[in-house]
Amino acid sequence: MDNKGSSQKGSLLLLLLLVSNLLLCKSVASLPICPSGAVNCQVSLRDLFDRAVILSHYIHNLSSEMFNEFDKRYAQGRGFITKAINSCHTSSLSTPEDKEQAQQVHVHPGVKENEVYSVWSGLPSLQMADEDTRLFAFYNLLHCLRRDSHKIDSYLKLLKCRIIYDSNC
Amino acid sequence: MDLWQLLLTLAVAGSSDAFSGSQDSSGKPKFTKCRSPELETFSCHWTDGVHHGLQSPGSIQLFYIRRSTQEWTQEWKECPDYVSAGENSCYFNSSYTSIWIPYCIKLTSNGDTVDQKCFSVEEIVQPDPPIGLNWTLLNISLTGIHADIQVRWEPPPNADVQKGWIVLEYELQYKEVNETQWKMMDPVLSTSVPVYSLRLDKEYEVRVRSRQRNSEKYGEFSEVLFVTLPQMRPFACEEDFRFPWFLFIIFGIFGLTVTLFLFIFSKQQRIKMLILPPVPVPKIKGIDPDLLKEGKLEEVNTILAIHDNYKHEFYNDDSWVEFIELDIDDPDEKTEGSDTDRLLSNDHEKSLNILGAKDDDSGRTSCYEPDILETDFNANDMCDGTSEVAQPQRLKGEADRLCLDQKNLDNSPSNDATPASQQPSVILGEENKPRSLLIAKTESTHQAGHTQQQLSNPNSLANIDFYAQVSDITPAGSVVLSPGQKNKAGISQCDMHPEVVSPCQANFIMDNAYFCEADAKKCIALAPHVEVESHVEPSFNQEDIYITTESLTTTAGRSGTAERVPSSELPVPDYTSIHIVQSPQGLVLNATALPLPDKEFLSSCGYVSTDQLNKIMP
């Protein structure tokens, strides 16, 4: 019972951390890129990329922090890492896996690709009564979030340097 | 996926079993670290443990498995390169490296798994050290002791920062050559950083290391950069620049002394003025104190009369001086004797000292307070030193009480006990030296008199009257006042007749401090039933509380036009006018002698001068 209480507290704490981070995130890029009411708002691609990179970097930063905190606090000695190595629900999405493949990514404005949704069905596991299962679900979620945010951050930085700075960041 | 996990778990379990089994734990090979320097390749290293149990060092093999998006590869593959990364290492080049893909590697010795590890490549990034460290001098401080330098370096060559594939941050550390502790600076994203405040006579070492942003692990340190700063300037000051306190103090004292002497020996008056500014005091314009001393009362009165505005001013709001206090503040005077003596003396001139005004600088207060009355009459001046400002406040208060009590007063027309209301009361009481020409006048009507009496007993009969009749002056010099006890009885009666005409009250109330005769007349007119006539109307029927010599003079000769006939029958009034003391035995308070002033006098609304008094009085 004690463990359950503490883990629930931990979950709550983590959620609070997440929410607060998201709120903080707003302050990072609080200025709207287009002021409200502006009809023809022209934003340079440079500004757009700069903003996007800042955001993605920040999100990855937060995800790393959350994962590290959780790992330090709840996952020690539980061997979650081995179990979580393969269980991201976004793994099925086809994305560049290395630099060469990432460099092949091009921005095609207007092209709508078939969006392959990868539905996350892990919510029930986050609410499970069993503490072990629940903690592992959180660990898995945070691990995947960290990885995916790093992926996106890397892609955006690559794109920015290629498009804006002509591969000379 | 499940199968793969199961396999993994079994492998881990198996390896742990193997460990606990025959082999010596210290001797088994295990992974030391896996590292990717640029997020494009990675390598894993292990220790080649000593196998005590085994005769031959078994061939150690590394197998890896990775999950790809396309297919599930469940078979372990062997390390592609055992050489490039050194001994006991496995190097995975870019073709074997996939980022964000989980890898698992295992180390086998003679077919037995000895160690296993799972990771993703982006988690094991540890960049190479920066290269090309150099420094440039920024500036040297004015003292020639410290200097700032700028350290620059290049990112590790294999990290593709130009394409933005990896973003690095750097940490610089420096220390003096003979120190042991490195000083760390905050991580920076740029490839150059300034280092401030290095001492010119010391040599420094600088090193830099880098890490992937958002990662925790730093790479290796770069080579140490030696910073040898130029020697100090030959004329450099001492290390500790001592402020020349000695000189400072000397000069300071000298300057102060000079200033002091200057002040002392020149323009002393000004200094005195600055330090001790004279206190502004009310002075009677144009009155020469000597004049008063000599007893030339008429001249004084003339002068006072001339200053018409003087009188009016007192009725205005301004003033904290409501009347001219003609006090004697000469210490010599004191030595001459008490005022009572002066009063009692046959010396007419001396008696005029009552009116004498001393042109001194000390402010004097009016001696109005009933408290003062209560005090020992033998005491010396109570009024000395009291603030002038307090005067009007008290007066106002009294006036308010006047107004407020008017109603009561009006209600008691039949108060024979307060005949003296008509008469000006003398405030001699405060001291034996009635210096002030405070001739308090009662109201024109007996009502006013009641008021005055009421003033003294606004709420209780027990209070001493504000205005008290001086009934006697003892030879010892104390003034005996008769508290208006009769009035007290009368007051109660007054309360029983609250039919006073309101306008009368209003008028009185309006005129906050003083009652103009006009108002008093109204009151009188409105209350004809009041047996005013039966009472001796003091010549100062008016509301004027104070009688100035001026008004006295002006009304001189109007005695015939008194509005009211003083009643022949007049009980001993509580308030009586001051009649100049003729005899040393006491004051002649002759209320009956006061004829009613005429209109002019009534309209004066001011003070009644002594001349007027004299003229009015028989």
Q: How far is B215 from chain A (nearest CA, A)?
A: 8
Instruction: Using CA coordinates, name the residue in chain B closest to A68.
Output: B216
Average pLDDT over residues A112-119: 70
CA pair distance B327, B360, nearest whole angstrom: 9
**B588 phi/psi in degrees, rounded to 5:** -95, 105
Q: Best-predicted range by mean pLDDT among B49-63, B211-225, B275-289?
A: B211-225
Which tokens sit at B500? Answer: 């006073």
Q: How far is B241 from chain A (nearest CA, A)?
A: 47
Among candidate residues B204, B156, B150, the one with its CA nearest the CA of residue B182 = B204
B209 — pLDDT class (breaks 50, 70, 90): very high
The DSSP code for B13 is H
Residue in A147, A157, A168 nearest the CB of B100: A147
Is A86 in contact with B67 (Cβ distance < 8 A)?
A: yes
Q: Which of A116-125, A147-156, B155-164 has the lowest mean pLDDT?
A: A116-125
Q: How far is A131 from chain B (nearest CA, A)?
A: 21
Residue B410 in this model has a pLDDT that exceeds 50 = no
Average pLDDT over residues B111-117: 86
Residue B482 in this model has a pLDDT that exceeds 50 = yes
Angle CA A29–A34–A35, to nearest 5: 95
pLDDT in tens, B245-258: 889 999 999 999 99
B10 — pLDDT class (breaks 50, 70, 90): low
In single-letter form, the type of residue at position A129 comes to: A
Higher pLDDT, B196 or B289: B196
Residue corresponding to tokens 């080649």: B48
Q: Best-predicted range by mean pLDDT among A47-61, B50-64, B376-390?
A: A47-61
- Please list every residue in chain A whose beta carbon sits closer than 8 Å to the beta carbon of residue B215: 64
Q: Which of B3-17, B193-207, B265-279 has the lowest mean pLDDT?
A: B3-17
Q: Which of A86, A95, A153, A164 to mutate to test the interface with B (most CBs of B within 10 A)?
A: A86
Is B163 in contact with A154 (Cβ distance < 8 A)?
A: no
H-helix or E-strand spanning residue B321: none
Is A99 in contact with B160 (Cβ distance < 8 A)?
A: yes
Q: What is the pLDDT of residue B267?
A: 66
Which tokens sit at A25? Answer: 């995130």
Is residue B426 within 8 A of residue B581, CB to CB? The reply is no
Higher pLDDT, A133 or B595: A133
Among candidate residues B104, B76, B83, B88, the one with its CA nearest the CA of residue B32 = B88
Q: Which of B72, B94, B99, B166 to mutate to test the interface with A (most CBs of A within 10 A)?
A: B99
Instruction: Using CA coordinates, name the residue in chain A closest to B69.
Output: A92
Is B167 in contact with A157 (Cβ distance < 8 A)?
A: yes
CB pairs under 8 A between A and B: 87
Residue in B69, B104, B165 nearest the CB of A91: B69
Average pLDDT over residues B203-232: 90
pLDDT in tens, A47-103: 888 999 999 999 999 999 999 999 888 888 777 776 766 678 888 788 888 888 888
Is B120 in contact with A68 (Cβ distance < 8 A)?
A: no
Q: How far is B205 from chain A (nearest CA, A)?
A: 30
Q: Best-predicted range by mean pLDDT among B147-151, B348-352, B451-455?
A: B147-151
ipTM: 0.77
pLDDT in tens, B422-480: 444 444 444 444 444 444 344 444 444 444 444 444 444 444 556 767 777 777 777 77
Where does residue B131 fall: left (phi above 0), alpha (psi -120 to 50 degrees), or beta otherwise? beta
pLDDT in tens, B523-581: 554 444 444 444 444 444 444 444 444 444 444 444 444 444 444 444 555 555 665 55
Residue B617 in this model has a pLDDT that exceeds 80 = no
Q: Is A166 annotated as a binding residue?
A: no
Q: Which residues pair with B482 in a beta bridge?
A: B469
Q: Which of B31, B36, B163 to mutate to test the interface with A (most CBs of A within 10 A)?
A: B163
Is residue B123 within 8 A of residue B217, CB to CB? The reply is no
- Please list every residue in chain A whose beta carbon sits closer than 8 Å to the beta carbon of residue B166: 154
- Please list every residue in chain A whose beta carbon sits closer than 8 Å to the beta carbon of residue B118: 81-82, 85
- Please list every residue in chain A whose beta carbon sits closer than 8 Å to the beta carbon of residue B39: 99, 154
Residue B383 in this model has a pLDDT that exceeds 90 = no
Q: Which residues pair with B65 in a beta bridge?
A: B104
Residues 37-56 of B with CB under 8 A from A: 39-40
Please tell me whether the overall predicted TM-score, pTM, comes out greater than 0.80 for this model. Answer: no
